[in-house]
């Protein structure tokens, strides 16, 4: 059984007003960071415009609730990083991932995922998750120490997984996160976090959890076609992989993916 942690909207707003320091380095001078960076937005809009789609229904988690709204720009921003982080290592990470991830976003071309092409988007996904937590602004899952170490070393935290999938439906800018009380063996409860993000044809999911159990312990997950629908890129495996995976996700598949850790065991 799992339960999602809820936050009071008024407390959330108070925290946003009071906390004006960078979530990565603790420095002043916050800037607005796009959940989907400009280069991704341009690709998504170009792809959808060629198909005649001008208006989009965006889904973004905020205060433990899914907010749905119409948009023609797909822009969604959050005040979390400072200008130094935003224009420094974060910008460099965007430069590393763009050359090959752009083709996955549009036109959805086949891509061989070498070790480097697994590692770089995994780090990009972790960066995005750490930033996206500031959209809802309850108590974050990632600690200040984890965010600081990620900024310095860009190492994916332990007990964190990242998967990629292929999505072909009408929600090209979708972002849902969950903070979860994960019930483990012998009734142990550990904190967990998931973020599911679409960028046109590309879908990414980040899942992290605390207090690993004994070797071989399986994380409970709602049954689904995950073996054929997802490629795990973190921890990086020994084998090269071909993206996209065998199975293409539609809106129903995306909904199942959003909640596959949340609903397990209910």
**Mean pLDDT, range 83-96, rounded to an integer:** 96
Burial class (CB in 10 A: 0-12, 13-18, 19+), 49: exposed
Q: Is residue 45 part of a domain?
A: yes
Indicate the SS3 state at residue 189: strand
- HSE, CB side, 13 Å, CA atoms: give it for residue 66: 15
Tell me if residue 87 falls in helix, strand or coil.
helix
Q: Is residue 116 part of a domain?
A: yes
pLDDT, position 171: 86
H/E segment holding residue 258: helix 251-258
Is the Cα dihedral 5, 11, 17, 22 positive or negative?
negative
Question: Collapsing DSSP states into helix, strand and coil, what is residue 251?
Answer: helix
Encode pLDDT of 216-227 as tens digits: 667 778 999 999
Residue 265 forms part of a structural domain: no
**Structure confidence by residue, pLDDT tens digits, 123-158:** 999 999 999 988 876 678 999 999 999 999 998 988
- The pLDDT value recorded for residue 190 is 74
**Residue 22: which residues within 8 A CB-CB, separation 6 or more?**
28, 29, 30, 80, 81, 82, 84, 85
List the beta bridge partners of residue 178: 194
What pLDDT is stored for residue 265 in this prediction? 41
Write the CA distances from 26 to 113, 143, 177, 180, integer angstroms: 34, 12, 23, 26
Classify residue 263: in a domain, yes or no. no
Cis? peptide before 244, omega within 30° of 0: yes
The boundaries of the domain holding residue 226 are 2-258
What tens digit of pLDDT does each residue of 11-24 get? 333 333 346 899 99
Confidence of residue 213 (pLDDT cuts 50, 70, 90): low
pLDDT higher than threshold 60 for residue 5 = no
Alpha helices, H only, 106-225: 115-136, 144-153
What three-state secondary structure class fits 231? strand
pLDDT digit string (tens) for 23-74?
A: 999 999 899 888 889 999 889 888 887 766 667 666 666 655 666 666 676 7
pLDDT at site 139? 78
Per the structure, the count of domains in the chain is 1
Q: Per the domain annotation, does 266 fall within a domain?
A: no
| Entry pTM | 0.84
Does a structural domain hold residue 264?
A: no
Residues linked to residue 243 through DSSP beta bridges, in sequence order = 111
Cα–Cα dist 113/148, whole Å = 28
235: how many CB neighbours lie within 10 A of its CB? 14
| Nearest in space to 6 (alpha carbons), one of 67, 62, 79, 60 | 62
């Amino acid at each position: 059984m799992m339960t999602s942690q809820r936050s009071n909207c008024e407390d959330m707003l108070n925290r946003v007003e009071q906390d004006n320091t960078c979530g990565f380095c603790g420095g002043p001078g916050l800037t607005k960071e796009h959940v989907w960076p400009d280069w991704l937005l341009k690709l998504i809009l170009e792809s959808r415009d060629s198909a005649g789609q001008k208006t989009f229904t965006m889904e973004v988690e905020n205060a433990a609730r899914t907010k749905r709204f119409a948009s023609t720009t797909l822009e969604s921003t959050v005040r979390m990083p400072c200008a130094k982080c935003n224009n420094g290592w974060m910008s460099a990470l965007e430069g590393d991932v763009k050359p090959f991830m752009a083709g996955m976003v549009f036109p959805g071309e086949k891509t061989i995922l070498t070790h480097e092409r697994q590692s770089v988007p995994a780090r990009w996904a972790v960066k995005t998750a750490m930033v996206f937590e500031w959209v809802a602004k309850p108590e974050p899952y990632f600690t200040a120490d984890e965010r600081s170490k990620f900024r310095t070393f860009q190492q994916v935290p332990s007990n964190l997984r990242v998967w990629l999938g292929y999505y072909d439906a009408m929600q090209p800018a979708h972002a849902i996160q969950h903070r979860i009380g994960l019930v483990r063996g012998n009734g142990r409860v550990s904190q967990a976090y998931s973020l599911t993000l679409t960028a046109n044809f590309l879908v990414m999911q980040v899942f992290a959890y605390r207090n690993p159990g004994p070797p071989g312990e399986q994380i409970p997950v709602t049954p689904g076609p995950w073996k054929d629908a997802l490629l795990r890129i973190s921890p990086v495996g020994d084998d090269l992989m071909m993206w996209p995976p065998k199975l293409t996700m539609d809106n129903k598949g995306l909904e199942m993916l959003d909640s596959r850790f949340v609903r397990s065991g209910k």
